Amino acid sequence: MVADLTTGEIIAAKNAHQPRLPASTQKVLTAVTLLPRLDPKGIYQATAEDVAVIGSKVGIREGSTYRISNLFEALFLRSGNDAAMALANANGGVDGTVAQMAVEARRLGALNTVP
């Protein structure tokens, strides 16, 4: 879908409402939601939950400590699901982060999403 940023008018669309797997879109929403909430200089200790996440990974190790800024780099550059999980946990947990992401998605106009 292509829309005018100022007016919101849809210029072109193809299968705009067809459900699709979120892939990296979910990682972008994770970043947009958490960048203003987490101190990039903060330190996070990885958990077993971070390591066990399914999908692409950057190789986070349980018990190792990571700077929040490095976790964001891993999220952006390697699309690491383990980095996404670690950032969600650094933000207080997955459930709260998903709720914040749903609010952010609605704020951005992504109205056809589900948590």
Catalytic, out of 24, 41, 57, 69: 24
Q: Which amino acid is at 65?
A: T
Q: Give the alpha-carbon dihedral of 84, 90, 91, 94, to 10 degrees.
A: 60
Given the residues 27, 41, 56, 64, select the one marked as catalytic.
Answer: 27
Catalytic residue (one of 14, 56, 69, 79)? 79
Phi-psi region at 30: left, alpha or beta (left = phi > 0; alpha = psi -120 to 50)? alpha
H helices of 1-115, in order, are 23-34, 48-52, 68-78, 81-90, 94-107
27 an active-site residue? yes
* Active site residue ranges: 24, 27, 79
